[in-house]
Every structure is written in C-alpha cells, then in structure tokens.
Amino acid sequence: MEKTLLIIKPGAIQRELIGEIITRFERKGLQLCGIKMIQLDDKILSEHYAHLSHLPFFGRIKRSMMACPVIVCCWAGADAVNVVRNMTGKTNGREAVAGTIRGDFSVSVQENIVHSSDSVENAKTELARFFRPDEILHFTTNNNNFIYAEDEQISNV
C-alpha cells in the first residue's frame, strides 16, 4: 500500500483541531503508521520548502511553521497520496470546497491547517525527512474486509 506524509500545522495545533483532522483520515479508512509531535527548525524547513526559497514569502512561511510544534503523520492505504490530497482540499483555504479540511477550517493560503505530499515520489522523500525507518510501523488491521474489496486488501503495510 502507498504511504504519504501529512503535517498538522501550528495553526491547527493552536486551534485544537488535531483530533478532528486525525479522525477524518481514520474514518476514511486510511491507516496511521507513524505519528509524532516535533518542533521544526530553520534547517529542516529550508530543506522542506526549498522549492519556495526564491519567493518573497519564504521567511514568513518558515516563521509560521516554527510558531509551535507540529504533528507529522504517515498515512497508508490504496492511492493514499491522492486520497489525502483530495481530503485536504486546495492550498488556498478560500478556494477549498466545503467538506475538505482546508474548506472547513481555513480561509488562508498560508495558514491552511495541513501540509500533504503532492506525489508518490515526494511522499517518499518527505517521509524520510521526518521519520526514521523504525518510526513507521507495518501491521495489518482487522477491518480490511470492511474497507477494501478482496483485490485491494492492505497486507503488511
């Protein structure tokens, strides 16, 4: 099964939305394989947002992401990258549709509640950035028959 990164950003932490966000992914049927709270620093943010480093708002993004700890999560499931991206909604919270995390909890392009990997390749890179291999657990849940068809089963995620 595919794995992807989700970061619950400082705005969501401050607004006490952690449980709501995690619950949405669990109810969807994704499997939480890794989770931890960390304080981001300039080094990891400069690496993570290197593709934005030439933009005038780069410093503002880093300051926002260091405002308080974040929660990094590894979610697994069939087509997990696309499933998580669809659930998070458009980057700009004002444009995200109702029912998505950003559509329900954000009106900002920067303070948009979560970060999610945008491709399978980036998910692998980002997961390696925030998790050691032993921090992502591999196990089978008992509810696979009620989430996936027989040919979609999660096995040893």
Q: Which residues are identified as catalytic?
A: 115
Per the CB < 8 A criterion, the answer to whether 40 and 66 are in contact is yes
**Alpha-carbon span 90 to 68, nearest angstrom:** 24
* Residue (of 30, 29, 3, 4) closest to 114 by Cα position: 4
Give the 3-state secondary structure of residue 108.
coil
